[in-house]
Structure 1
Amino acid sequence: MQLDHVGVATDDAAELADLYGELFDAPVAHEEEFDGMRVVFLAFDGGYFELLEPMEDGTIARYLDRNGPGVHHVALRTEDVEGALETVRERGVELVDDEPRPGAWGHDVAFLHPKSTGGVLVEFVEH
């Protein structure tokens, strides 16, 4: 596995994309509205920042209400998300997703519960 992206919850993805673009020379690689969110991916060498702006009430809106803006999750790229889930399941890791589901860019994704991963929401993503 390798690091795919870091998900960042924000109230304004366009504003944060502009800031990160200036500060880190990180161009926008992809934008879409997905699952009640505006999602903006900024490209870095070997990975992305995924900016998550809620468009309606949902997971990211609730996260922002509780925690404010900041790092939401860390995503690891795998060639076999189902196999990765099986491996962590065998080790007793609590899952958010028992099966892969469609994610941004049409990738298959699944999340691990932060209770089992040191307080970090971890996403597996299969391109």
Structure 2
Amino acid sequence: MKIDHIGIAVNSIEEAKAFYEALGLVISHIEVVDEQGVKTAFLKVGESNIELLEPINESSPVYKFLQKRGKGIHHIAINVEGIENVLERLKGKGVRLINEKPVKGAHGKLVAFVHPASTGGVLLELCETKK
């Protein structure tokens, strides 16, 4: 396992990217994920990425996050193998899951979120690259 990315909620990718570009980072991929209600922009940092998350509508979980908490770290994503098995194992141990089955995420990955109540207050995304 490794950290795949850190998701950061922003009001506007266009506005937020200036800081990261000043650091010398470059956006490598922009994608709209309708299922999640977000536009995403990825910036490569070593083996991991920073994912900027901009809501595309008011029903987006990221929109709700921004309204409640403001801009900032939204989630940490861990790349796993066998995401369905990992979810079953966590569920069997009483871990509270937001997604009991994986859904489509950016880059065509399968993703599922673990509720912050089970992780010490951090929204955790599990992701697996489809083979």
Shorter chain as denominator, the TM-score bin is over 0.9
Q: Which runs of 5+ in 1 are unaligned?
A: none
Give me the TM-score of the superposition, normalised by structure 2: 0.92
Checking the alignment, whether the CA contact within 8 Å between 1:17 and 1:42 is kept in structure 2 is no
Q: 1:76 is paired with a residue of what secondary structure?
A: strand
1:29 alignment counterpart: 28
Give me the TM-score of the superposition, normalised by structure 1: 0.95
1:91 pairs, out of 81, 90, 93, with: 93
User: What amino acid sits opposite 1:18 in the alignment?
Assistant: A
Q: Which runs of 4+ in 1 moved over 4 A?
A: none
CA distance in 2, matches of 1:21, 1:81: 33
CA distance in 1, matches of 2:89, 2:18: 39
Q: How does 1:1-127 map to 2 (within 5 A)?
A: 1-23=1-23, 25-35=24-34, 36-57=37-58, 58-127=60-129
User: What amino acid sits opposite 2:44 in the alignment?
Assistant: A
User: What amino acid sits opposite 2:8 in the alignment?
Assistant: V
CA distance in 1, matches of 2:45, 2:82: 23
CA displacement at 1:18 relative to structure 2: 2.3
Equivalences, count: 126
CA distance in 2, matches of 1:84, 1:18: 37
User: What amino acid sits opposite 1:3 in the alignment?
Assistant: I
Q: 2:117 is paired with a residue of what secondary structure?
A: helix
Q: Which runs of 5+ in 2 are unaligned?
A: none
